[in-house]
Chain A
Amino acid sequence: MTTLKAWMGERLDTPEKARTTLSNIAVGGGVVGLVLTLVAVVIAYA
Chain B
Amino acid sequence: MGWIITSLLLPIFTPFLFYWALKGFAFPSAPKVIQMIKDGQLGWVGVGFACSTLYEIFEPGTGKTMSIEAGAGYAIGAAIVFLCASSVIAAVGTMLPVVYPKPASVSWVKHYQILIKSVGLTAASALLYGLVHYGIVGVRTL
Contact = CB atoms under 8 A, between A and B. Distances in A.
A18 to B, nearest CB: 6
Interface stretch (B15-23, B28-36, B116-124): B116-124
Contacts, number: 94
- Interface size class of chain A, counting residues whose CB lies under 8 Å from the partner chain: 20 to 34
A29 interface: yes
A40 interface: yes
Interface string B65-90: 00001111011011101101110110
B54 interface: no
Nearest to B81: A33
Contacts of A34: 78, 124
Interface residues of B, number: 33
Interface of B: 40, 69-72, 74-75, 77-79, 81-82, 84-86, 88-89, 92, 96, 98, 113-114, 117, 120-121, 124-125, 127-128, 131, 136-138
A-B complex: 4 closest residue pairs judged by Cβ atoms: A43-B71, A29-B85, A36-B78, A40-B74
Given A19-B96, A30-B121, A40-B131, 13 more contacts: A18-B96, A19-B114, A20-B113, A29-B82, A33-B79, A33-B82, A37-B75, A37-B128, A37-B131, A41-B71, A43-B71, A43-B74, A46-B70
